[in-house]
Amino acid sequence: MKTAIAKLVAAMIVLSWYAAAQPADARTTLKSICRVKGQEENTLHGLGFVVGLKGTGDGSNFLPTIRTLAKVMSLMGEPLGQNGLAELKDTKNVALVTVTATVPAAGARQGDKLDCMVSSIGSAKSLAGGRLFLTPLLGPDRNNTRIYAFADGAISLDDNGMPTTGRIHGGCQLETDFFNVFSKDNHITLVLDKNHAGFQVAQDVADLINSQLAFQNGGVALAKALNQVNIMVTIPKQYRNDPVLFVSQVLGLPMIQPQTEARVVINERAGSIVIGGDVEIGAVVVTHKNVVVETGGTIAGEPFVPVDPEETDTPKLKALVEALNAVHVPTEDIIDIIKGLERNGKLHGKLIID
C-alpha cells in the first residue's frame, strides 16, 4: 500500500513539473482543429438476406421476407410453383436485413474491402451462424440507383448482447473509386471541429492564414470566416495546379491554443469531471451536509472562507471543486453541486453531460 501511494505521489510530482514546464501559449496546428470540406465519410446501404440460420430466421409469418425471397428466386431462374408463397411456409433459416458500410473520409479505390454492418429488420431471433447473401449497396442519394459495392460473407456478432446485429469483416468490396473533391472554383473551405467551433476561433483561423500566407497572393487576404464553423480560403495562382501542396501548408500552420467557450464535461457513469481552466462561477454559498463554502465576497456575521482568496471577484470552478475534494465530498455530490450552480445561473460556462 505504501509503495502504491509513493508511486502516486511521484507521478503527481512529475505531472506538476511537466505542466509547469509547458509554455503559457501552448500551440497546435490547424489540422488538429479543422478539416477540409469534401473530406467526409460516405455511407453505402442495401437490403439483403442472411441465410444458413438454425431456425432463428424471420419465419413465414413475416411476409416482407417471404415476398422478397420469392422475387429473388424468380430473378435467379427459380420461380415459385402454383402454390405461390405457400411453398415457403416452412422457411425459418432466412432473415431480411439492412446492410451498411462506411467509406472513409480520405476516399477509397475500386476493389478495396471495408467492414459492413448487418441488422435484422424482421422477426429473426438471432443472426448467429448466418451468412449474408450477395447484396448490392447503393449510395446515400435515393434517386441514384447506381451500385457502388457488393457485400457478402459470414456474420460475426458484436459483443453488445444484441444477437440480431453483426459485422462482416472485409465483407464489402467497392465497385468504383471514391475521390472526394476538396477544392471548388479555386477555393477550399475549412470546417472547424464541433468542439472548436465558434465565431472567435473562426476569425482567429482566418487571421492566422492571412498573416502567414497572404504574401503568396500579393498581400491580398486569402481567408475569410463565413460563420462560426466555415472559413473560405482562396488558392493562390501558383498553387492551382498543385492544390494539395497549398492545403498541406495551410493545415500545418501553428496556432496558439484556440480560445473556445468555457466548458464543464461530466460523465456520471464514470464519475469523471473535466473542467476547463477558464470556467468561472458567480458569488454563491454552497452548503453540503455539514460543509459550507462561499465563493466571491463575504456575508456579514458568517465565518466563511473564500474558495480562492486571490480571485474573490471571479472565482474559478476548479478552486471550488478542489475545496470540496479537500473535505472529502463524494464525486456524485460534487456533480450535483455543479448542476445546481448551472441551474442557479452561477456557472459561467457550458455544462455538458455525457
DSSP string, 119-166: EE-SS-S--TT-EEEEEEEE-S-TT---EEEEEEEE-EE-TTS-TTEE
CA 157 to chain centre: 23
Would you kindly state where each structural domain of the chain is located, as residue ranges?
A: 28-37+182-256, 42-174, 263-353
Q: Which residue has the cell 497546435?
A: 28
Structure confidence at residue 65 (pLDDT) = 77
How far CA 119 is from CA of 55, 100, 141, in Å, comes to 17, 9, 21
pTM as predicted: 0.64
Residue-by-residue DSSP string for 292-306: EEEESS--TT----B
The three-class DSSP label of residue 264 is strand
The pLDDT score that the predictor gives to residue 314 is: 65
pLDDT of residue 196: 87
**In this predicted structure, what is the pLDDT of residue 147?**
92
State the greatest distance between any 2 C-alpha atoms of the chain, in Å, as a whole number.
Answer: 96
Question: What CATH number does the domain located at 28-37+182-256 have?
Answer: 3.90.76.10
Q: What's the CA gap between 250 and 32, in Å, rounded?
A: 12
Main-chain dihedrals φ then ψ at residue 212, nearest 5 degrees: -100, -30
Per this entry, what is the length of the chain?
354
Residues whose CB falls within 8 Å of the CB of residue 330, separated by 6 or more in sequence, listed in order:
none
- For residue 335, what pLDDT is reported? 87
209-218 confidence digits (pLDDT tens): 999 998 988 8
Those residues of the chain that have pLDDT short of 50 are 1-24, 298-305, 309, 311-312
